Amino acid sequence: MTDLAFLHARRSVPSRQLGEPAPDEATLRRLIEAALRVPDHGKLVPFRIRILRGDAKLAFGRKLAKIAEEANPGLSEAKREKERHRYEHAPLVLVVSAKIDDDSKVPEIEQRLAAGCVAYNLLLGAQALGYGAQWLTGWAAYDRDVAKLLGMKKSEHIVGFIHVGTPAMEAPERDRPSYGDVASVWEP
């Protein structure tokens, strides 16, 4: 693709539509190394990535479902089922987190944005390599018990779960805002 066509073609592939194969170890390393090339004020490296796949990914999903059920005893059976199977579809899930340095002169928002840029670069990189990906959050991204399950300290916060795999179908296009919807010229 030339010019900006690659960005115009960017789409999220629903995690339920992502299957094997996922990137192999060498490709995953290349993807992550490329994703780390983000603006990083103060060179704090305020991001981390946890790799979930195989049995570990499934065990994480089961533990996450248990946390959801314990926190919400009245959870409907349909929602329990959704929680139980949330991590069974895509063969690879990358958990991106922001590791906030409260003692830094760099504002927290900039540290979080750097981590968000890593997550977005993972989406773009997966697409560039021929894979599909979807950035998901949901309750688990904001739950401290989930963060503890992943070994995160109090200063670390989940930015998103990046589900990666081979698309079973072409990703659907959705309505996008137009230039006129979001851009304006400021004049004094």
Q: What is the pLDDT of residue 120?
A: 98
Task: Tell me if 2 is assigned to some domain.
Answer: no
Check whether 136 is labelled as a binding-site residue: yes
Q: Is residue 175 part of a domain?
A: no
Residue 3: predicted pLDDT: 86
SS3 136: strand
Instruction: Write down the pLDDT at residue 1.
Output: 53
> Pairing relation of β-strands 132-136 and 47-53?
unpaired
Q: Which pTM value belongs to this model?
A: 0.95
- Domain of residue 162 covers 11-168
| Residue 54 included in any domain | yes
Give domain status of residue 185, yes or no.
no
CATH code of the domain covering residue 17: 3.40.109.10
Is 97 annotated to bind a ligand? Reply is no
Residue 187 is assigned to a structural domain of this protein: no
Q: Any binding-site annotation on 135?
A: yes
Known binding residue 10? Answer is yes
> According to the model, what pLDDT value does residue 80 have?
84
Task: Tell me the pLDDT of the chain (188 aa) as tens digits.
Answer: 568 999 999 999 999 999 999 999 999 999 999 999 999 999 999 999 999 999 999 999 999 999 999 999 998 989 888 888 999 999 999 999 999 999 999 999 999 999 999 999 999 999 999 999 999 999 999 999 999 999 999 999 999 999 999 999 988 889 999 999 999 999 99
Asked if residue 173 belongs to a domain, the reply is no
User: Taking Cα atoms as reference points, which of 167, 91, 169 lies closest to residue 131?
Assistant: 167
86 annotated as a binding-site residue: no
The helix (run of H) or strand (run of E) holding residue 158 is: strand 156-167
Burial 61-75 (b: 16+ CB within 10 A, else e): beebbebbeeeeeeb
Count up the domains in the chain and report the number. Answer: 1
- Give a yes or no: residue 121 inside a domain: yes
Residues in the chain: 188
Is 11 assigned a ligand-binding role in the annotation? yes
Confirm whether 188 is domain-assigned. no
